[in-house]
Amino acid sequence: MASKVLDPDNINENVKKCVYAVRGELYLRASELQKEGKKIIFTNVGNPHALGQKPLTFPRQVMALCQAPFLMDDPNVGLLFPPDAVARAKHYLSMTSGGVGAYSDSRGLPGVRQEVAEFIQKRDGYPSDPEHIFLTDGASKGVMMMLNALIRNEKDGVLVPIPQYPLYSASIALYGGILIPYYLNEESNWSLDFSDVRNQVVIARNKKIVPRALVFINPGNPTGQCLSVTNLQDLIKFCYKERLLLMADEVYQVNVYQDERPFVSAKKVLMDMGAPYSNTVELVSFHSVSKGFLGECGQRGGYFEMTNIHPQTVEELYKVASISLSPNVVGQIMMGLMVTPPRPFDISYPQYQAESKAIIESMRRRAHIMTDGFNKCEDVVCNFTEGAMYSFPRIKLSKAAMDAAAQAGKAADVFYCLKLLEATGISTVPGSGFGQKEGTLHLRTTILPLEQDMPGIMAKFQKFHADFMAQYSDYSVSSRL
């Protein structure tokens, strides 16, 4: 019989090439187990509300009113909503052309883009132009749009830190480019190793690959490190020298759990450096409502800001954005709310402050609980989660465990994570999904389970790990026989 048009053998090769581990084998198995009634702790993806984090009250009040503006004509509205939420809902609705049910401009609502520009200006101390800001359905969609425009053919390469967030590897594969890996240095807390960056560019060029862009994630995903200003300066100088577009994934900028290196944006560092950097280095910076203390992943709000990008290319990107008409308007308003929190004299200010502070402070404590918990295990080493939402412990497995994995036809880290899932319900992602130095094995987990659940989860992990290591010990009775 003739094959189908959409036979797997007949579809776009690039679609098949991409791999997305965060929702890969482990996630699929966890979903199956959940269907069978097993309690699963989904720490495979940074999805705070799924693990019990409550949404902040004020943004949700505003959003409810934006969805149902007729409530504001009801004399009882004041019984359920504070006046500053009503005022803010009116503010955002006035920016739309017909409420949240109308398409916006394909770059997003001009009013929200203005608010984002003001946020950036306040954060960095440098002007930001709303015409260079596009709102997107989450940061991922923005990253994909940029990579699609950047990658011209199968010789175009993008430098990506390894371990990396697989959005990058998957999108680069989907758009037919080449990922040029540069390795972060686990021994010095996942720091940037510039000699490796330089080296990889040389290797790539020798293979006739054209390096076009360099991605960094700060704070790091899955590695949790925070970059120093010096690191950022070096990256910018490198991009200047090598003529690379710098893609700054800064979605975790609020999730910082150490005080030595507060978040500084690539935009600010670039502007601080002055000419010839500040007026030539092409930079695209990404941000999102999904992370920080909002954690509003499901609302799909994101933006990117373009610096030193050719105006005609900005127009081309506008055209591409137009094909799917507009990002979702609810996510855009959530972005407006994120960058414009209640002011000190607003009625909702104290509650907003209390709620947001409680979340970030708890995340900081959880980062410690988790890192410490991993480091208490034999043959597990974990750098401190300085920022973002993940721990990425290294697991040293015995030969017996490696052999068992090979026999099961699984990569060793996948084997370990599957066993962990079956034994404890903890759903993680094997390090191979992010890339890891050959000979090393890791897993990624989020620090997002509720704080009160965290000690129990770490105890479960520790017990599992001890049992696993005992079962697959190279010196066990069975292997000595």
Interatomic CA distance for residues 174 and 425, integer angstroms: 32
Q: Is 331 in the site for a second copy (CB under 8 A)?
A: yes
Q: Is 292 in the site for a second copy (CB under 8 A)?
A: no
What residues between 167 and 186 interact with a second copy by CB under 8 A?
167, 170-171, 174-175
Beta-strand runs (E) in 3-150: 41-42, 133-136
Contact 281, 244 (CB under 8 A): no
Question: To the nearest whole angstrom, how small is the minimum distance from the Cβ of residue 340 to a second copy?
Answer: 18
Among 213, 232, 270, 338, binds a second copy (CB under 8 A): 213
Kindly state the tokens that stand for 54.
């409550």
Interatomic CA distance for residues 31 and 40, integer angstroms: 8
Counts for the chain of helices (H) and strands (E), in that order = 18, 14
Interatomic CA distance for residues 338 and 216, integer angstroms: 23
Interatomic CA distance for residues 123 and 114, integer angstroms: 14
Question: To the nearest whole angstrom, how small is the minimum distance from the Cβ of residue 222 to a second copy?
Answer: 15
Among 269, 270, 297, 457, binds a second copy (CB under 8 A): 297
* Count of residues interacting with a second copy (CB under 8 A): 103
Among 26, 30, 61, 231, binds a second copy (CB under 8 A): 61
Q: Is 154 in the site for a second copy (CB under 8 A)?
A: no
| Residue whose structure tokens are 């581990």 | 21
Q: Is 23 in the site for a second copy (CB under 8 A)?
A: yes
Among 25, 57, 360, 460, binds a second copy (CB under 8 A): 57
Q: Is 133 in the site for a second copy (CB under 8 A)?
A: no
With CB under 8 A as the contact rule, which of the stretches 140-148, 364-372, 387-395, 399-407 interacts with a second copy? 140-148
The DSSP element (H or E) to which 326 belongs, if any, is none
Contact 251, 48 (CB under 8 A): no
Contact 449, 49 (CB under 8 A): no
Q: Is 64 in the site for a second copy (CB under 8 A)?
A: yes
Interatomic CA distance for residues 185 and 177, integer angstroms: 25
Q: Is 13 in the site for a second copy (CB under 8 A)?
A: yes
Q: Is 28 exposed, middle or buried (0-12, 13-18, 19+ CB in 10 A)?
A: exposed
What residues between 451 and 470 interact with a second copy by CB under 8 A?
none
Q: Is 307 in the site for a second copy (CB under 8 A)?
A: no
Question: To the nearest whole angstrom, how small is the minimum distance from the Cβ of residue 350 to a second copy?
Answer: 17
Query: Quick one: 241 or 463, whose CB is closer to a second copy?
Result: 241
With CB under 8 A as the contact rule, which of the stretches 58-66, 111-119, 124-132, 419-427 interacts with a second copy? 58-66
Q: Is 140 in the site for a second copy (CB under 8 A)?
A: yes
Among 199, 324, 353, 375, binds a second copy (CB under 8 A): 324
Q: Is 444 in the site for a second copy (CB under 8 A)?
A: no
Interatomic CA distance for residues 379 and 395, integer angstroms: 6
Contact 302, 287 (CB under 8 A): yes
Q: Is 188 in the site for a second copy (CB under 8 A)?
A: no
Q: Is 282 in the site for a second copy (CB under 8 A)?
A: yes
Interatomic CA distance for residues 167 and 102, integer angstroms: 30
Query: Quick one: 4 or 357, whose CB is closer to a second copy?
Result: 4
Q: Is 18 in the site for a second copy (CB under 8 A)?
A: yes
Query: Quick one: 8 or 274, whose CB is closer to a second copy?
Result: 8
Interatomic CA distance for residues 457 and 434, integer angstroms: 23
Q: Is 323 in the site for a second copy (CB under 8 A)?
A: yes
What residues between 88 and 107 interact with a second copy by CB under 8 A?
96-106
Q: Is 141 in the site for a second copy (CB under 8 A)?
A: yes
Among 188, 322, 375, 479, binds a second copy (CB under 8 A): 322
Among 113, 212, 366, 465, binds a second copy (CB under 8 A): 212
Residue 185 carries which DSSP code? B
Interatomic CA distance for residues 464 and 460, integer angstroms: 6
Query: Quick one: 80 or 202, whose CB is closer to a second copy?
Result: 80
Among 25, 29, 33, 77, binds a second copy (CB under 8 A): 77
Interatomic CA distance for residues 417 and 415, integer angstroms: 6
Q: Is 20 in the site for a second copy (CB under 8 A)?
A: yes
With CB under 8 A as the contact rule, which of the stretches 328-336, 400-408, 430-438, 465-473 interacts with a second copy? 328-336
User: Taking CA 267 as the corner, what is the angle to CA 261 and CA 272, rounded to the nearest 5 degrees?
Assistant: 80
Among 33, 71, 86, 381, binds a second copy (CB under 8 A): 71
With CB under 8 A as the contact rule, which of the stretches 196-204, 241-249, 341-349, 435-443 interacts with a second copy? 241-249
Total number of residues shown for the chain: 481
User: Taking CA 289 as the corner, what is the angle to CA 286 and CA 292, rounded to the nearest 5 degrees?
Assistant: 90
Interatomic CA distance for residues 233 and 404, integer angstroms: 46
Question: Nearest to residue 295, comparing CAs of 363, 372, 244, 393?
Answer: 363
The helix-helix angle for 110-124 and 266-273 (nearest 10°) equals 60
Question: To the nearest whole angstrom, how small is the minimum distance from the Cβ of residue 351 to a second copy?
Answer: 12
